[in-house]
Amino acid sequence: MLCQHTNQCPNAEAVDREAARTVATFREQGWSLLCNGVIVFEDTGEILPDGTMIEPHRGPARHALAA
């Protein structure tokens, strides 16, 4: 567990794992590292610390659907 925040962030197994804080952003590569060890990509895909791949899960924006 990398998280050293006073109020511990959700761990990598938690459903709200994305609520953990970003500790490093590699904008040019399109991903960020969260303090719970999860890597989050710009398209909302994720890689967990154990190597599990999470498919992107951000749906189309509502205003895009309305148009």
The site for Zn ion (CB under 5 A) is made up of: 3, 5, 9, 21, 35
Residue 60: partners with Cβ closer than 8 Å, 6 or more residues away: none
Closer to Zn ion at the Cβ: 5 or 57?
5
Closer to Zn ion at the Cβ: 22 or 56?
22
Cα angle 55, 9, 27 (rounded to 5 degrees) comes to: 50
Closer to Zn ion at the Cβ: 5 or 43?
5
CB of 58 to Zn ion, least distance (A): 22
Tokens 């109020």 locate to 7
